[in-house]
Structure 1
Amino acid sequence: MSIPTVLVLPFPAQGHVNPLMNLSKKLVKNGCKVIFVNTDFNHKLLMSTMKKQQQLDDSFNGALKLVSVPDGLSHEEDRTDFAKLCEAMLNTMPNMLENLIKDICLNDDCRISCIVADVNMGWGLNVGSKFGINGALFWSSAAAMFALVYNIPKLIEDAITDSNGLSATKKVFQLSPNMPMMDTEALVWSNVAADSISLKKVFNYIKHCSHTTSLSNWWLCNTTYELEPRPLSFLPKLLPIGPLLNNYENKSEKESIGQFWEEDLSCMSWLDQQEINSVVYVAFGSFSFTLFDKNQFKELALGLDLTNRHFLWVVRDQDQDSNKMMKFPSEFKGYKGKIVKWAPQQKVLSHPSIACFISHCGWNSTLEGLSNGVPFLCWPYFSDQFYDKTYICEELKVGLGFEKDENGLVLSEEIKKKVDQMLGDENIRLRSMEIKKKVMRNLAQGGGSSENFNRFVEWLKE
């Protein structure tokens, strides 16, 4: 039986790279070789946080290789402008990926068995089909969000959205009687663009990528049957293989491979000094700087002070010349907290001192919190995070949301109030621990996600 080589193509954002890197490491552990294709820009970020390819070779015996192709933007251009990024990628990356595959086949004398493409990079399967390479699609968000993308024609037909991705009817809707109710605010392309022209570009990019579902032998999703029974029964071809978490058993892997920023491990020894269930963990993901203006940043800082509890707060290091640079208010004491630029989040959430998680509710953060039995205080700011918040608070009942004032601010008093309410509710903690047990059973031998993953690996090896 030959060793299969899998080319993995993530969308160029930290929240998409993480689960696909974790999937890649699992594939290597199960006897596959992986070529992980980042954009040049993200490849440089990723390599700067680790000891270059040598660390990968030490950890994975050369079976995991990181390569890159240009995304079509210059180094200085803003990659948080998704309309510009999507347009540039579609114009540039298919040809670049084609050249990369030719080079791999020619110089490495290596036959690629399968391309695993992020759904938002679905055009990669078109490229693979030119070489007769099998394809699998991977969805990094909730299964319910994949159902939305897969059913874009139906959304347009039912006037839930117009042909440009703009909400045609401001109302809640259901894709089918068995699916959860959704709000038009939860459409995955909503809130990711500043204006209607940009939103149209992002929507058309997603629509273009979704057409490649017919080229895919497998649809894989970072979720579990227990978490999303209704969306998964609505789309039976979508196979849950989650939660895809970092595996810290590999002692030679000294850092979390796949991170764009260096993790500050000093927070772990600080957590060791705190009491059980005493620390409020605050982290808003890789696009956190888009969430706050200086007034909201001030309210959050003062709110953490006001709780009079220990807190660990991730505040991304920003460009000193940027007008988005946040300054801590002069009144902020922070004497009970620790502030880091980037944290080993999964390790943090598994620490017994963590009491709750103030989160943007990105799906990776949601899975990491649920997998560790940590309750949520939900603060979404774009895309699928609004759906995730509703799901956490109303369906799973393991979280609370924040109320905003008439100016759209979450005030310091509201932060204190919700932290006190959360930590005073033992039932939320108990429900969180029950969900942790259900979710983690999937990774054990015989669990649903484990069995689906094993089937995929067997297929690769055939």
Structure 2
Amino acid sequence: MSRQHILAIPFPAQGHVIPLLELSQCLVKHGFRVTFVNTDHNHNRVINALQESYTEDEIHLVSIPDGMEPSEDRNDMARLIEAMPKVMPGELEKLIEEIDRVEEEKIVCVIADAGTIGFANRVAEKMKIKKAAFWSLAAASLALLYNVPKMIDEGIIDSDGTPIKKQMIQLAQSMPEIDSTNFLWANMGGGLAFQKKIFHYLENITEAVKVADWLICNSTSDFEPEAFTLVPNILPIGPLLASNRQGNSGGYFWQEDSTCLKWLDQQQPNSVIYVAFGSFTVIDKIQFQELALGLELTNRPFLWVVRPDITDDANEAYPEGFQDRVANRGKMVGWAPQQKVLSHPSIAFFFSHCGWNSTMEGASNGLPFLCWPYFGDQFINESYICDIWKVGLKFNRDESGIITREEIKTKADQVVGDEDFKARALELKETALKSVKDGGLSDKTFKKFIEWIRS
């Protein structure tokens, strides 16, 4: 029996690959065939990190070049967003032509992550295929981008996105307050020229999203009702988690260390701090050591994900004697099966960079947060967690910009000591589950989306 064939293409970053792959798994469960297109560089990483649980017949993983040289740094966003549109559209078109030539199940729909939607739209239109945009961040982040022309008119930012002065912006009553110096494009480092590039790239995304046939979002309107009213046509289908379909998550760029699950089994319920800052966060050596000493000072068991590239030479960066002193209650791993960790009964709270995936995963597991945002949309998510949902705490930095060990201990004690954080977090979990269950709002939207693809 022939199945309808969908092509999915994420923006080449960890936080975009995971949710789009999750959406692809859901589509497979509903009888579709999916070809999933990573860049060559990320494809190799995903294949190397894959667990045996992954079966190729479900989703066909393929790749196209991103336009960068093999030796270039993929964390250099400015270079990546410059290279992609030059090379990827042509490669995507060739790939679809090739699939349509050799397979009886031709591509009927392209689902593109918002970061790739600009060129994917053009290719889909040219080839007369349905096109959907997938927004993998909070709806509030897109609402902010939709608000750019107004912010330029009101003199909040100039036409290149540079904030005119530092001020707090709130788009609607129950939405995050955002510091203008922390707008998505303004907090990524790299100087003014880089910021301008990112800003105009994001402007193009907004335009492209508006002409997609469907715009779906990895969120639920129960989490951010105001944001969904501010973006025309955006529809919630989240939170998309492997646990919702009782499967394993895929798409990691690092091999996960699942020994930490056995370690968690040996800990008391509700006792462990889980510390993980996603795939981009980089911390200098002084702050890294302060973080380590802060975790030691809490006197609680902790599971800490220390990516090899989180600081200069992570293995050598620990404070002297730290590993020996915490050997009985601290476990450090290079990468963790995060969804499984967060649903483990021994986890007390999530010490997070507040990427949107991590935010959805923590919220869906009823966990309080300590927030350590790094860049991009993470400050918006921190505001949801701390100011709107009130399930977590922010850190204060000292005069030299460091989050001190004492501050880490104080906030850890507060978030564990106040039962209200846990109570509100469990309410949030109920809300998330209701949304994706049969008959919930995200579930209904997803089914309509499927009908549209089939029609």
TM tier relative to shorter chain: over 0.9
Tell me how large the CA RMSD over aligned residues is: 2.0
1:202 equivalent among 153, 173, 198? 198
Give me the whole-angstrom Cα distance separating, in 1, the residues matched to 2:365 and 2:218: 16
Instruction: Identify if the C-alpha distance between structure 1 residues 94 and 165 changes in structure 2 by more than 3 Å, giving closer, same or farther.
Output: same
Match status 1:146 vs 2:142: yes
Residue 291 of structure 2 is matched in structure 1 by 300
Give, in angstroms, the shift of residue 39 of structure 1. Answer: 0.4
Match status 1:182 vs 2:178: yes
Give, in angstroms, the shift of residue 338 of structure 1. Answer: 0.7
Structure 2 residues without counterparts, runs of 5 or longer: none
CA displacement 1:106-138 (0-9 Å, x = unmatched): 222442111111111122111111101111111
Identity across the alignment (%): 48
Residue 329 of structure 1 is matched in structure 2 by 319
Give, in angstroms, the shift of residue 156 of structure 1. Answer: 2.2
Q: How many residues align?
A: 451
Q: Which moved more, 1:127-136 or 1:182-191?
A: 182-191
Match status 1:170 vs 2:166: yes
Residue 210 of structure 2 is matched in structure 1 by 214
Give me the whole-angstrom Cα distance separating, in 2, the residues matched to 1:226 and 1:249: 20
Q: Which moved more, 1:236-245 or 1:307-316?
A: 236-245
Give, in angstroms, the shift of residue 2 of structure 1. Answer: 6.0
Retained in 2: the 8 A contact 1:313–1:340? yes
Give, in angstroms, the shift of residue 104 of structure 1. Answer: 1.3
Give, in angstroms, the shift of residue 323 of structure 1. Answer: 6.5
Code of the aligned partner of 1:129: E
1:411 equivalent among 404, 407, 427? 404
Equivalent residue of 1:122, what SS? helix
Alignment of 1:84-99 (within 5 A): 84-99=79-94
Give me the whole-angstrom Cα distance separating, in 2, the residues matched to 1:105 and 1:5: 10
Give me the whole-angstrom Cα distance separating, in 2, the residues matched to 1:179 and 1:358: 22
Retained in 2: the 8 A contact 1:126–1:215? no
Structure 1 residues without counterparts, runs of 5 or longer: none
Instruction: Identify if the C-alpha distance between structure 1 residues 319 and 207 changes in structure 2 by more than 3 Å, giving closer, same or farther.
Output: closer
Code of the aligned partner of 1:312: L
Match status 1:243 vs 2:243: no
Residue 72 of structure 1 is matched in structure 2 by 67
Give me the whole-angstrom Cα distance separating, in 2, the residues matched to 1:396 and 1:233: 18
Code of the aligned partner of 2:290: E
Residue 12 of structure 1 is matched in structure 2 by 12
Give me the whole-angstrom Cα distance separating, in 2, the residues matched to 1:363 and 1:248: 17
Alignment of 1:434-453 (within 5 A): 434-453=427-446
Give me the whole-angstrom Cα distance separating, in 1, the residues matched to 2:160 and 2:275: 36
CA displacement 1:307-335 (0-9 Å, x = unmatched): 11100000012399x66776111041222
CA displacement 1:163-208 (0-9 Å, x = unmatched): 1121123222244577554321342222224110111111111212
Code of the aligned partner of 1:242: G
Give me the whole-angstrom Cα distance separating, in 1, the residues matched to 2:176 and 2:293: 37
TM-score, normalised with respect to structure 2: 0.94
2:418 equivalent among 405, 425, 428? 425
1:227 equivalent among 223, 242, 247? 223
Retained in 2: the 8 A contact 1:2–1:461? no
Give me the whole-angstrom Cα distance separating, in 2, the residues matched to 1:431 and 1:177: 20
Instruction: Identify if the C-alpha distance between structure 1 residues 179 and 381 changes in structure 2 by more than 3 Å, giving closer, same or farther.
Output: closer
Give the ranges of 4+ consecutive aligned residues of structure 1 lying more than 4 Å apart after TM superposition. Answer: 176-180, 322-326
Retained in 2: the 8 A contact 1:160–1:173? no
Residue 114 of structure 1 is matched in structure 2 by 109
Code of the aligned partner of 1:97: L
Residue 264 of structure 2 is matched in structure 1 by 271
Residue 33 of structure 1 is matched in structure 2 by 33
Retained in 2: the 8 A contact 1:81–1:193? no
Residue 55 of structure 2 is matched in structure 1 by 56
Equivalent residue of 2:293, what SS? helix
Instruction: Identify if the C-alpha distance between structure 1 residues 300 and 180 changes in structure 2 by more than 3 Å, giving closer, same or farther.
Output: closer
Code of the aligned partner of 1:185: T
Residue 260 of structure 1 is matched in structure 2 by 253
Retained in 1: the 8 A contact 2:26–2:245? no
Retained in 2: the 8 A contact 1:9–1:37? yes
Alignment of 1:313-352 (within 5 A): 313-318=304-309, 327-332=317-322, 333-335=325-327, 336-352=329-345
Give, in angstroms, the shift of residue 75 of structure 1. Answer: 1.6
Instruction: Identify if the C-alpha distance between structure 1 residues 419 and 50 changes in structure 2 by more than 3 Å, giving closer, same or farther.
Output: same
2:279 equivalent among 278, 281, 286? 286
Instruction: Identify if the C-alpha distance between structure 1 residues 82 and 413 changes in structure 2 by more than 3 Å, giving closer, same or farther.
Output: same
Give me the whole-angstrom Cα distance separating, in 2, the residues matched to 1:77 and 1:405: 35
